[in-house]
Chains A and B, each alone.
Chain A
């Protein structure tokens, strides 16, 4: 087994947890002293830095979520001096303000370290040429991968998104051996390559793909691996945690979460209490070394479980099991986060339809398709089918502008969609999650 950092990646659970506790204590003390926000949150929760004596004590600390970041736009939660911040990434606003994540030099270094270990865990190294086809810019995917590849010492081809034919030419001409992108984009690339008469298996040196930012199925993995003759590795991350951070190793049996950098808890979404070892629940992340924007007990909304069982690859850090869904109704379509509240907002602006709607997501072939069923406003009903079709198109166009995702709009008879008392369940996701 080739490890990027053999000592850390294979140390025993007790040693990892000792490191985690030491980092956690340091983090909590620092926040208590330097962050007015955390200081008051901790006072409200009746916890002082000295109360954190074991890892179990973490439950005494207040948790945070996306709203904390949004409400403290742009940088009110930052704890590093402004001159130490060397980069910002900004995730798109969904229902209000965007969230801003700042990075110090150490933050970038730890992020890159995490990815370099991950890349090495499925056999990538200095001799590889890795094409980064995640978006570069405010989105953290492109630059995050880029720095990880450079840290690894491999060559990076910063292709970003779009220009698929050119991307395929580059893969061939620069002897690219691995690509980072969304699974749906890679499937698209396979189709385009076929149209160009190119067979990835014989005409390129491709051997791996790092795929994430959206849910994908085992079927899709098999499809990609068969058609390209490569290993397709699942990648996990989130803009709040830095960006893409962790991947599967060559065993493809769970995503290694580097325990010295990140502490994951799994809690019951209703009670917030820890679930038993190996059980599923809501993931709660603490980034132990973050400086610019501390992320502590961050409830990210993903549902899954972790296992501390030693991996066949020899690595000892906890592994994240398949994601089984979301706590909220957020859905990810072709790498883009979509919240039902966004759909509701768009529908509210259009007179001809009501705000009674359902979102239906399904796999069409290997691509995801999103349909919005919405009840027509009875006053807008007409005998003219073309006019009704015009309403559908108008709604589809408005949704696409806001969501950046193509949406099929289906008008429904007023009163025909389900009504909800209490928490509504407006998303029907028929995809197989990975």
Chain B
């Protein structure tokens, strides 16, 4: 099974708070591959895909940030019109429910990060369907 670790950080809705989080990650020597922010009333959740997840996790914890680690699927997608649609349409057919997603571009193509209801089952089905979820080495 190919799942990737992602860090989620609870960030108070206050000017400057995100910079404190990103500063900590930078000082830990971790490179942010992709990220997204989900906004709430008094806090947001910032999700990071990183090359050195453990280092960033420890540094965030040590600096008093509220952080959790969760599994997501990183799927390479075609970087051309219809690229996202082809994945979304297959997920629909396979009955894979997407909770949230974000995407980023790397030198050799685009990556779609997916949080799904049942990760293990979804990875199995996607693999059987010819998709090739990436591990962290392949992402960097």
Contact = CB atoms under 8 A, between A and B. Distances in A.
Interface of A: 373, 376, 378, 381-385, 410-416
Nearest to A378: B66
B12 A416 contact: yes
Contact of B68 (A382, A411, A414, A415): A382
12 contacts: A381-B67, A382-B70, A383-B6, A383-B47, A383-B115, A384-B99, A385-B38, A412-B42, A413-B42, A413-B43, A414-B10, A415-B64
Contact of A383 (B8, B40, B42): B8
Nearest to A389: B40
Given A373-B42, A383-B115, A412 B68 contact: no
Q: Nearest 10 pairs between A and B by C-beta?
A: A383-B8, A416-B12, A413-B12, A383-B70, A378-B66, A381-B66, A413-B10, A413-B43, A410-B42, A414-B66
B11 A413 contact: yes
B113 to A, nearest CB: 12
A384 B117 CA distance: 11
Contacts of B12: 412-413, 416
A410 B41 contact: yes
A3 B47 CA distance: 72
B41 A385 contact: no
B137 to A, nearest CB: 23
Interface residues of B, number: 21
Contacts of B11: 413
Interface of B: 6, 8, 10-12, 14, 17, 38, 40-43, 45, 47, 64, 66-68, 70, 99, 115
A382 B99 CA distance: 14
Nearest to B99: A384
Contacts of B40: 385
A11 to B, nearest CB: 57
Contacts of B8: 381-383
A411 B70 contact: no
Contacts of A413: 10-12, 17, 42-43, 66
A384 B115 CA distance: 10
Contacts of B43: 411-413, 416
Contacts of A382: 8, 68, 70
Interface centre among A373, A381, A385, A410, by most chain B C-beta atoms within 10 angstroms, is: A381
A135 B14 CA distance: 44
A398 B112 CA distance: 40
A363 B40 CA distance: 22
Contacts of B10: 376, 381, 413-414
A336 B12 CA distance: 32
A376 B45 contact: no
Contacts of B45: 383, 385
B47 A411 contact: no
Nearest to B69: A383
Contacts of A373: 42
A156 B42 CA distance: 49
Contacts of B41: 410
Contacts of A411: 42-43
A385 B36 CA distance: 14
Nearest to A373: B42
Contacts of A376: 10, 66
Contacts of A414: 10, 64, 66
Nearest to B72: A383
A326 to B, nearest CB: 26
Contact of A416 (B14, B47, B70): B14
A341 B65 CA distance: 28
Contacts of B64: 414-415
Given A376-B66, A381-B68, 9 more contacts: A381-B8, A381-B10, A381-B66, A385-B40, A413-B12, A413-B42, A413-B43, A413-B66, A414-B10
A385 B14 CA distance: 19
A384 B70 CA distance: 9
A385 B67 CA distance: 14
Contacts of A381: 8, 10, 66-68
B122 to A, nearest CB: 16
A383 B8 CA distance: 6
Given A410-B41, A416-B12, A383 B68 contact: yes
